[in-house]
Amino acid sequence: MPRVVALLLAAGRGRRFGSDKRLARLPDGRGLLAASAERALQVFAEVHVLLRDKDDAQALGLPDACRIIRCPDADQGMGHSLAAGVRALAGCEADAIAVLLGDMPWVAADSLWQLCQQAAAERIVYPLHDGQRGHPVLFGRAFWPALQTLTGDEGARALLQAQAAACQVVALADPGVLRDVDRPQALLND
């Protein structure tokens, strides 16, 4: 099986949520970010969490097994944060990076396994559910240099479009690959 490390993006401000959504509680009492990290740890041997410079990982409820990457310029957008995370992982011995979002705790562990099985250094892998592209996206090592140059708030959308021939789509019956938390009411649909 390819070696895949997880990069959990959690440095955004989540302004639409109205407060720090990383601390928001799921109906089962777990914090949103903590639950996302716990799910990632079920599948990945290495889970790196990208935080803002002054964030307190312990206050966010992150498990001790998570490795923290700091992004002091996170306010410049998701593209900038993703680039910082990939730069921090450039020296690791992995075939691919799975880019997960800190507000998506409902992605099934089996879905993550299925995506990882398709990973390769020359491939970009992403899930499809009900005809919609979801998360996480797994970027093979060949695409890390391009990810390291991202800026702004668009993330890797342009890279996916430019590298369509390298994309491997995995159809999943998992609505969790589409379900994120932008507003508090999204927490109630558990």
Count Cβ neighbours within 10 Å for each residue of 17-30 and write b for 16 or more, e otherwise.
Answer: beeebbebebeeeb
DSSP code, position 26:
P
In whole angstroms, what is the distance from residue 26 CA to residue 73 CA?
A: 29
Q: What is the pLDDT of residues 45-102, one digit of tens each?
A: 999 999 999 999 999 999 999 999 999 888 888 898 999 999 999 999 999 999 999 9
Residues whose CB falls within 8 Å of the CB of residue 32, separated by 6 or more in sequence, listed in order? 21, 22, 23, 24, 25, 26, 102, 103, 105, 181, 187
**Residue 111 is part of a domain; what is its CATH number?**
3.90.550.10
pTM for the model: 0.94
Work out whether the CA dihedral 99, 134, 179, 155 comes out positive or negative. positive
Q: Report which of residues 165 and 157 the model is more confident about.
A: 165
Instruction: State residue 70 phi and psi, 5-degree precision.
Output: -100, 140
DSSP code, position 71:
E
In whole angstroms, what is the distance from residue 115 CA to residue 111 CA?
A: 6
CA triplet 53, 55, 61: central angle to 5 degrees?
145
The reported pLDDT for the residue numbered 189 is 62
The reported pLDDT for the residue numbered 190 is 54
The reported pLDDT for the residue numbered 140 is 98
Count of domains for the chain: 1
Q: What is the pLDDT of residues 31-47, one digit of tens each?
A: 999 999 999 999 999 99
Q: Give the 3-state secondary structure of residue 20.
A: coil
Range of the domain at 30: 4-188
Which pLDDT band holds residue 158 (cuts at 50, 70, 90)? confident
